[in-house]
């Protein structure tokens, strides 16, 4: 007696994967990001939704049309969210003012020897250097490695632990200070640029937010919200070119970070189509996974180039760098 052909197995795994990713996408569309796990998955959007494309392709090949359509819908949302990171933007036009190179680096405070990173930073030849997780020992080591050569103006706030920071500049600094951002110290200053007898100003914020994981989500949200409010308020009083740079512990796929962008800021690496280049790795033996380090600029700053440092050099973050041109100095608005 001939055996009857076995029925194909239902695609339970494919449906489960698609449903989970659809739920995550629905939470994002609804603006729900109140759990650390959701914040972490949103940050990893370029990677987290890749299974949807695999499920869609396999389901289509097997004639599972409903599953293929559902997974393709999730994949379409994924592409809509991530493609803006790699589509270069048109360079803004206007009267060109001073140009400078800005570098930002998270040092990882628990490192014991920053000399390799110091040499890398020196080789980048920045006009403006922003450092996060700056300890007193790290400042001494970087100085010995030549990282601050030619950067004669500075405002530093070295601290034990992960929330020291510093700003070094080739040009004079004004209104430099350490300020409290929802319970966390950050540094900021105004750079006074003089080129060919002229002058311009650049307002700079050196950022290091709390991670949203391990109980830090409320403070992380509050810090990004306060940054957005403060940048908008300062530019209303004085529409000077502005840079907000550092370790945000966020990507553009986190809602609080998108609110910061909505304050009139553009990601320098996205402006050059390099938004997928990761800067952070979770463990020394793992590859870089996420771009948590950003250089955000106001619309009156042109991004001529943007790139990521060559290696980690004992830190879990890569340095980020950009060449900028100011498109005209702002003037204070009478209060």
This model's pTM is above 0.85? yes
Give yes or no: residues 74 and 110 share one domain.
Answer: no
Residue 128 belongs to a domain:
yes
Give yes or no: residues 172 and 283 share one domain.
Answer: yes
pLDDT score, position 335:
33
Q: How many CB atoms lie within 10 A of CB 148?
A: 21
Give yes or no: residues 315 and 210 share one domain.
Answer: yes
Give yes or no: residues 59 and 29 share one domain.
Answer: yes
Using alpha carbons, list the distances in angstroms from residue 156 to 6, 57, 123, 129, 252: 71, 53, 21, 11, 28
Residue 287 belongs to a domain:
yes
pLDDT score, position 141:
96
Domain CATH for 135: 3.60.10.10
Give me the domain span that covers residue 141. 99-326
Boundary residue ending a domain (83, 115, 136) = 83
pLDDT score, position 9:
66
Give yes or no: residues 106 and 78 share one domain.
Answer: no
Residue 1 belongs to a domain:
no
Residue 223 belongs to a domain:
yes
pLDDT score, position 310:
86
Give yes or no: residues 78 and 149 share one domain.
Answer: no
pLDDT score, position 332:
39
Give yes or no: residues 107 and 63 share one domain.
Answer: no
Give yes or no: residues 46 and 151 share one domain.
Answer: no
Give yes or no: residues 232 and 300 share one domain.
Answer: yes
Residue 103 belongs to a domain:
yes
Give yes or no: residues 226 and 131 share one domain.
Answer: yes
Give yes or no: residues 62 and 211 share one domain.
Answer: no
Residue 224 belongs to a domain:
yes
Give yes or no: residues 78 and 104 share one domain.
Answer: no
Q: How many domains is the chain built from?
A: 2
For the chain, 335 residues long, the average pLDDT of each consecutive 10-residue run is: 58 94 96 92 96 97 95 97 93 89 96 93 97 97 97 97 96 96 97 70 97 94 97 94 97 96 96 95 89 97 95 90 82 37
Give 232's strand partners. Answer: none
pLDDT score, position 285:
83
pLDDT score, position 199:
60
């Amino acid at each position: 007696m001939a055996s009857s052909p076995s029925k194909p197995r239902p695609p339970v795994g494919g449906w489960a994967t698609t449903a989970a990713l659809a739920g995550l996408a629905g939470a994002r569309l609804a603006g729900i990001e109140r759990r650390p796990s959701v914040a972490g998955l949103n940050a990893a959007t370029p990677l987290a939704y890749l299974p949807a494309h695999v499920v869609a392709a396999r389901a289509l090949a097997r004639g599972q049309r409903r599953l293929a359509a559902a997974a393709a819908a999730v994949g379409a949302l994924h592409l809509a969210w991530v493609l803006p990171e790699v589509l270069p933007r048109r360079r803004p036009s206007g009267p060109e003012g001073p140009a400078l190179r800005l570098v930002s680096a998270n040092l990882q405070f628990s490192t014991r020897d920053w000399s390799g990173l110091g040499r890398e930073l020196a080789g980048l030849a920045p006009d403006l250097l922003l450092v996060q997780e700056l300890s007193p020992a790290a400042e001494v080591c970087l100085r010995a490695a030549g990282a601050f050569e030619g950067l004669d103006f500075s405002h530093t706030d070295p601290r034990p632990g992960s929330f020291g920071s510093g700003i070094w500049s080739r040009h004079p600094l004004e209104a430099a200070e350490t300020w409290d951002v929802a319970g966390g110290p950050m540094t900021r200053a105004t750079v006074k640029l003089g080129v060919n007898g002229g002058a311009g100003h650049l307002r700079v914020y050196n950022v290091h937010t709390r991670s949203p994981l391990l109980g830090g989500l409320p403070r992380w949200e509050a810090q990004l919200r306060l940054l957005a409010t403060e940048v908008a308020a300062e530019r209303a009083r004085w529409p000077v070119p502005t840079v907000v740079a550092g370790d945000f512990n966020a990507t553009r796929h986190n809602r609080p970070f998108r609110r910061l962008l909505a304050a009139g800021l553009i990601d320098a690496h996205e402006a050059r189509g390099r938004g997928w280049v990761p800067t952070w790795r979770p463990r020394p033996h793992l590859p870089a996974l996420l771009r948590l380090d950003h250089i955000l600029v106001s619309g009156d700053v042109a991004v001529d180039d943007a790139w990521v440092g060559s290696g980690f050099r004992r830190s879990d973050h890569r340095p980020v760098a950009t060449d900028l041109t100011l498109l005209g100095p702002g003037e204070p608005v009478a209060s």
